[in-house]
Amino acid sequence: MTFPNVTVIGLGLIGSSLARAVQLHIPGVRVTGYDADARVREIATRIKLCDHITESASAAVIDAALIVLCVPVGAMGAVAAEIAGDIPGDAILSDVGSCKESVIEAVRASLPNVVFVPAHPVAGTEESGPEAGFASLFHHRWCIVTPPEGTDVRAVERVLEFWRSLGAEVETMRPDHHDRVLAVTSHLPHLIAYTIVGTASDMEEVTQSEVIKYSAGGFRDFTRIAASDPTMWRDVFLANRGAVLDMLQRFSEDLTALQRAIRWGKGDELFELFTRTRSVRRSIIDKGQDDARPDFGRSHE
Ligand SMILES: NC(=O)c1ccc[n+]([C@@H]2O[C@H](COP(=O)([O-])OP(=O)(O)OC[C@H]3O[C@@H](n4cnc5c(N)ncnc54)[C@H](O)[C@@H]3O)[C@@H](O)[C@H]2O)c1
Ligand SMILES: O=C(O)C(=O)C[C@]1(C(=O)O)C=C[C@@H](O)C=C1
């Protein structure tokens, strides 16, 4: 059964994509939106992002059947506290945060009895804000739903069905496992991109304008990722610090091994690694999951 009213709190890239996707795919559903930033609310009203934009989080949830928190992970707890007195008893609460354990803990602190079905659409871009969203963002992308033990199974099924109806592929996973998987597939790559672009722009013997002028393909790809929203990523690294630090430790060891192979001229070791990594890339393409095309998914239906 679909939700008659969906409330989106946080109208940035993901919240605005969600509002657009609901309007495109399930047009009878009434979408209510709220964002703490008055300028974002103004833009959302001008571009008719939602059926209704409210002036407070509590007003936004008052008659909601599904509430989706689309704010940075560090703000989830504060929003949960803000809406605690106004969530209808039969509403389902969900979110789109990039890491799950810390969000579950933060939401549970204010809302111990609300039906909470956490989710993470593994889809995004380096942009942010209400005008960056698009309805097809979730098409053929995974949405990982991470219900804590004991979550009502019908509520979980309804949230899975909701994401399917927006064109996503769905999967359920334990929250702690999600956080370890995403630490290596999403969080570490962002950390590496932030580091390499930072290093290049800090070099004494290469000027900033040379970095920009001669940026080769590989470096350009890193700059796209390193342009991602600073607030969002600060929060992700702090919230998922345990898993990120574990992966970083492993990564540093592998980097040291690579350093030794280069120093000692071990070409066969380099060749073996690069052959293995090439096959990973090929498997991703074979599964049709390559989104490296510059226009991927950005059709603004
Ligand atoms: N960007 C991505 O690629 C991506 C992908 C999947 C999931 N996510 C997750 O989605 C969430 C939103 O990310 P985004 O990329 O849309 O960020 P964004 O910066 O584009 O939007 C976040 C919005 O939340 C609003 N906000 C912040 N604190 C608030 C509060 N207390 N109450 C109400 N509104 C508040 C901000 O004003 C902003 O408009 C994050 O939790 C992020 O981890 C992001
Ligand atoms: O494609 C991008 O720009 C993204 O960074 C999207 C991306 C990722 O793939 O790492 C970023 C964070 C998310 O939580 C989910 C998706």
What domains can be seen in the chain, in order of their start residue? 5-173 (3.40.50.720), 178-286 (1.10.3660.10)
With a 6 Å cutoff on the Cβ, whether 16 touches ligand 2 is no
Whether the pLDDT of residue 279 is over 90: the answer is yes
Mutation pick for ligand 2 pocket among 98, 224, 291 (CB with most ligand atoms within 8 Å): 98
Say what the pLDDT of residue 298 is: 52
Average of per-residue pLDDT across 199-206 = 82
Ligand nearest to the CA of 38: 1
CA 286 to mean position of chain CA atoms: 24
Whether the pLDDT of residue 120 is over 70: the answer is yes
- Beta pairing partners, 21: none
209 vs 97, more confident? 97
pLDDT in tens, 146-199: 999 999 999 999 999 999 999 999 999 999 999 999 999 999 999 999 999 999
- Beta pairing partners, 32: 7, 52
- The label of the residue with tokens 């703490």 reads 36
* Whole-angstrom distance, CA of residue 176 vs CA of residue 84: 25
239 pLDDT band, cuts 50/70/90, is very high
Whether the pLDDT of residue 294 is over 70: the answer is no
30 pLDDT band, cuts 50/70/90, is very high
- Cα 35 to averaged position of ligand 1 atoms, centre (Å): 10
Mutation pick for ligand 2 pocket among 70, 100, 186 (CB with most ligand atoms within 8 Å): 186
Report CA torsion sign: 224, 227, 228, 234: positive
283 vs 35, more confident? 35
Mutation pick for ligand 1 pocket among 8, 9, 11, 13 (CB with most ligand atoms within 8 Å): 13
With a 6 Å cutoff on the Cβ, whether 72 touches ligand 2 is no
- Whole-prediction pTM value? 0.94
- Using a 10 angstrom Cβ sphere, with 0-12 exposed, 13-18 middle and 19 or more buried, the burial of residue 301 is exposed
Whether the pLDDT of residue 1 is over 60: the answer is yes
With a 6 Å cutoff on the Cβ, whether 128 touches ligand 2 is no
Ligand nearest to the CA of 16: 1
- Cα 71 to averaged position of ligand 1 atoms, centre (Å): 4
Mean pLDDT, the chain, rounded, equals 94
* Whole-angstrom distance, CA of residue 17 vs CA of residue 289: 20
Whether the pLDDT of residue 215 is over 90: the answer is no
Whether the pLDDT of residue 203 is over 50: the answer is yes
The percent of residues in the chain predicted with pLDDT above 70, rounded, is: 95
- Cα 38 to averaged position of ligand 2 atoms, centre (Å): 26
Average of per-residue pLDDT across 240-245 = 98
Whether the pLDDT of residue 207 is over 80: the answer is no
